[in-house]
Amino acid sequence: MKISYFLEKVSAQMHSKEAKEYVKSELSQHMQQSKQSWVKRGYSEVEAEKKAVKEMGSPLTLGKSLNKLHKPKIDWMLVILLSVTLLLSFLPILALDKGMYLEITNFTLPTMLQNKTISIIIGFSIAIGFMFIDYRKLKRYGYLFYGVGVGLLIAISQFANKIINGESIISLGIIDVQAWVAIPFLLMAWASFFSNSAFKLWKGIALYVFSIYFLLFIPSLSMIFIYSVFVAVLFLKSRFSLKEKICTVGAVILIVIGVVFYHIIAFRNGSLANYQISRILGFISPNKYADESGYIYVTLENAMKSAGLFGAENLMNLPDPHTNLVLGNIIQTYGFLAGIVLFAILSIFLIRFWLISRAIKDPFGKLLTIGGVTLFATQFLYSVAMNFGLVPVSTMSLPFMSYGIMPTVLNAFIVGIVLSVYRRKHFIPLKEDYQAS
């Protein structure tokens, strides 16, 4: 029996097309090595091939065994978590109807519920759709993803026709194109770059600086923060040498220290803009500036104090209770018990992401999941800290719970990527997959 025929018999027992291709490649390589070994012992090509095939045993038995071992897997825990969280994401909108927010704005409850439903459908479809995409094929398009991501940033910086909370946006009717749209493309790009052993450090520095340059024109400080954090984490988990990592981190620390000292001096000299000084003082001494920039922190603190286990009797009108301060509004409306449950669910997401990332052997898949974990964790933890007044209030969404399409779609993309990697965690890419992007 020839090796090619044996491989066809084995693959015929397997149901997954991806598994068939993977197993055929791996078995073919193994059997060719075995064949060459027999040839070196003095056997002819034909005899050596028969020997190599015979060593493998029954193709039917082997095929059935490999079918069970390499069957693509679905992480049902993540799917269930996603479904439950998406259903819970209606709570912040329903909470608005219990307070005065809808009465003092142009929003209507049916419209917001309708928009949220659309976001949930799109988000869930993206998560499940990405699960069936072979993430390994994305690795070769690193520069394309980077180009799309930076291209979006350039377009927004140059052609924005709307500003929300100081951030430039391209408004296309009912759709607002924000800088956050670029994040999924940039995540895939950097995971591709850093998993490629031929990628040079100077290229990474140049590409990062180039993208940050256009982000500063938007500007979106929260996105700059999140983007920098996940690029830094991916860099530290990359294949660069320890010396390169230490030198780069040292240089970044010196730059950060320089920027901090610059702002301290500027603050003391009074050269910062009035609104910047006001925001800093409002965060540092909220009670002293309770009628100005400290109002939001004082209101948040009072809302939390009055919440109790099952919600406050008299609700306060928090600024942006459906977006940035969604957690504070949930706690004051439904109580700390609801907040604890929500925190636990989002924490389970993080733990599951982390466990999956540890089980992945493929460098590209591992960096994708690590990047996803970092992106999710940064939003989640900063949003929680922000709602408890531990960090300055910024444009930061709570994953899935904040109103708008991006908080849902962006984090659904993360779930979809992790599901895709998990589904193929037994499929180790071949050598050609490690070639330069």
Each domain of the chain, given as residue ranges in start order, spans: 3-69, 76-240+308-434
> How far is it, in rounded angstroms, from Cα 107 to Cα 419?
35
Q: What is the pLDDT of residue 437?
A: 33
Q: What is the pLDDT of residue 273?
A: 65
Instruction: Spell out a b/e string for 12-30, using b for 16 or more CB atoms within 10 Å of the CB, else e.
Output: ebbebebbbebbbeebeee
> How far is it, in rounded angstroms, from Cα 171 to Cα 328?
29
- Angle 81-82-85 from CA coordinates, rounded to 5°: 85
Q: What is the pLDDT of residue 105?
A: 65
Q: How many CB atoms lie within 10 A of CB 340?
A: 12
User: How far, in whole angstroms, is CA 354 from its chain's centroid?
Assistant: 12
Q: Are 416 and 129 in contact (CB under 8 A)?
A: yes
Max CA-CA distance within the chain?
92
Cβ-proximal residues to 224 (8 Å cutoff; 6+ apart), any chain: 212, 215, 216
What residues are paired with 164 via a beta bridge?
Answer: 167
Q: Which amino acid is at 422?
A: Y
Q: Are 290 and 73 in contact (CB under 8 A)?
A: no
Question: pTM for the whole thing?
Answer: 0.83
Q: What is the pLDDT of residue 101?
A: 67
Q: What is the pLDDT of residue 245?
A: 94
44: left (phi over 0), alpha (psi -120 to 50) or beta: beta
Q: What is the pLDDT of residue 117?
A: 94
Specify burial of residue 115 (Cβ count, 10 A radius: 0-12, 13-18, 19+): middle
Q: What is the pLDDT of residue 402?
A: 93
Task: Supply 52's token pair.
Answer: 């190599």
- pLDDT above 90: percentage of residues in the chain: 46
Instruction: Chunk the chain into consecutive blocks of 10 residues (it has 437) and report each block's average pLDDT, rounded to whole numbers.
Output: 81 75 78 85 85 83 76 87 95 79 71 90 95 91 96 90 78 78 95 94 95 88 92 94 93 90 77 70 82 85 89 84 91 93 95 92 93 95 93 90 90 95 72 37
